[in-house]
Structure 1
Amino acid sequence: MAEIIIPGPQGRIEARYTEPPYPGAPIALILHPHPKAGGTMQDPITIMLYQLFEKHGFGVLRYNSRGVGRSQGAYDQGIGELEDAAYVLDYLENLSESPRFVWCAGYSFGAWITLQLLMRRPEIDGFLAISPPANHYDLSFLAPCPASGLIVAGDKDSIASPEDVERALTKVRVQKGQKVDRAKVAGANHFYQDSREELIAVCEAYLLRRLEEAENELRKEADEEAGVDVIVEEEDFED
């Protein structure tokens, strides 16, 4: 993991970056909680999400949004923070060599930014949204949600309860072939005190399932292409 400084829209953006382990490896962007509530890229859940993707062969980047840590600028009600996220995703993609998959993950306020970002970036293949504060922010912009992902909430969360999330998602549609899964962590509050390992286990199980499905799909496509080649060769031989 390296400390890097990104020249962002409002000046420097402080970040941590793990290079992809091989050319074409998948990449993931991790977004931290609300800056006004002490959220930084050093938040424990943000770090654990970063380590999850790093563990499974992703190039990963997390950063401090404007006005946080050594990042320049000032909090901008989510508007500038979304601009930062889009800019940093561009930067991450430019550091990578044709990434196989692009994922985004965020916690709390970072989950809300994650969900907005994927609406603007069709290259995002999957997402993890941890405790999006659906009672504070409208999620109706997910119309329709363009990528499959997982939304997780603690069943004792008074800030972003599973009921609030479900209520917000009742009006949300997804594009054909996509699915937004939901999961609850038993006994967990918004900060997942004493429940962080359980949270990451839920996220890891989902990530591994999605990666396996993607690999199976790629193998199927490769087999179909190989079958077409064989047919062509046989026809050429008969002629």
Structure 2
Amino acid sequence: MAQPSFPAASEVLLLDGPAGKLEVAVDLPEAADARPLVAVVCHPLPTEGGTMHNKVVTMMARALRELGATTVRFNFRGTGQSEGGFDQGAGEQDDLRTVVEWVRGARQGDALWLAGFSFGAYVSLRAAATLHADALVSIAPPVTGRGWDFGDIEVPDVPWLVIQGDADEIVDAQAVYAWVDGLKRKPQLVRMVDTSHFFHRKLIDLRGAIQHEVKAWLPPA
């Protein structure tokens, strides 16, 4: 079955995914600010309430959209209107691949950035090399204690930002810093003081940090 056309205005639609329908939200920047760039944003753990409407996810998308990116959020299988069931990160990579292939087919020539929060950071990093992402944004990547293996992730040689709250009660901040220190090619790391996992009272600071760090990576308008 043919996938729906990429919308010319902000819209929520359903794609045919590997486990059934995938719920996708496309949001366009102001026309005067638009750049040849699409950022696909992945949400946190669905078994703990994570969806594409999570406040950190929507703030990530907003920050990138204000820089001229078209943003695509989507619900992993079994979340919202997306069909199927949770698959421990493996099937979720296939969901992401479906969304990226749809974006690339419709927006040929545009840069593709992958962004993710918590579990979404794991999924987007795990798939980044095979999807040939042009840049990466990872917020609170759950490097230990959650069952996700970051040890053999192949990260492409592209601009990469990691943001971590020092007071994260879910992801061990010190483990994230140690993981970054052990990488051969290190990302840009922003450590946010007195900041919890869900960036309570820090969402505007998160927006500013994202925009400050990635502005130099933007393709020309």
Which range, TM-score by smaller chain?
A: 0.7 to 0.9
User: What count of residue pairs does the alignment treat as equivalent?
Assistant: 207
1:142 is paired with a residue whose SS is: coil
**Residue of structure 1 aligned with 2:129, choices 108, 119, 130:** 119
2:182 is paired with a residue whose SS is: coil
Cα deviation 1:137-158 (Å, max 9, x = unaligned): 3322234543221111101013
CA distance in 2, matches of 1:62, 1:143: 23
CA distance in 1, matches of 2:135, 2:62: 17
**Residue of structure 2 aligned with 1:77, choices 80, 84, 88:** 88
Q: Which residue of 2 aligns with 1:3?
A: 12
User: How has the CA–CA distance of structure 1 residues 115 and 92 changed in structure 2, closer, same or farther, with 3 Å as cutoff?
Assistant: same
Q: Percent identity?
A: 26
8 Å CA contact retained: 2:180, 2:187: no
Equivalent AA in structure 2 for residue 115 of structure 1: L
Cα deviation 1:163-192 (Å, max 9, x = unaligned): 111222343223xxxx51111111101111
Is 1:18 paired with 2:27? yes
Higher Cα Rg, which structure: 1
Is 1:160 paired with 2:171? yes
Q: Which residue of 1 aligns with 2:149?
A: 138
8 Å CA contact retained: 2:14, 2:21: yes
8 Å CA contact retained: 1:14, 1:64: yes
CA distance in 2, matches of 1:144, 1:91: 22
Cα shift at 1:161? 2.9
2:142 is paired with a residue whose SS is: coil
TM-score in terms of structure 2 length: 0.87
Equivalent AA in structure 2 for residue 198 of structure 1: D
8 Å CA contact retained: 2:125, 2:155: no
Q: Which residue of 1 aligns with 2:197?
A: 190
CA RMSD after TM alignment: 1.9
Map 1:89-104 onto structure 2 (within 5 A).
89-99=100-110, 101-104=111-114
1:71 is paired with a residue whose SS is: coil
CA distance in 2, matches of 1:41, 1:189: 19
4+ residue stretches of structure 1 with deviation over 3 A? 19-24, 142-145
TM-score in terms of structure 1 length: 0.80
CA distance in 2, matches of 1:32, 1:186: 23
CA distance in 1, matches of 2:95, 2:60: 19
CA distance in 1, matches of 2:74, 2:154: 28
8 Å CA contact retained: 2:63, 2:208: no
Is 1:150 paired with 2:157? no
8 Å CA contact retained: 1:19, 1:60: yes
CA distance in 2, matches of 1:143, 1:89: 18
CA distance in 1, matches of 2:137, 2:130: 16
8 Å CA contact retained: 2:64, 2:71: yes
Equivalent AA in structure 1 for residue 82 of structure 2: S
Map 1:19-58 onto structure 2 (within 5 A).
19=28, 21=31, 25-58=36-69
User: How has the CA–CA distance of structure 1 residues 48 and 75 changed in structure 2, closer, same or farther, with 3 Å as cutoff?
Assistant: same
8 Å CA contact retained: 1:109, 1:132: yes
CA distance in 1, matches of 2:137, 2:150: 15
More contact order relative to length (CA 8 Å, sep ≥ 6): 2
CA distance in 2, matches of 1:143, 1:68: 27
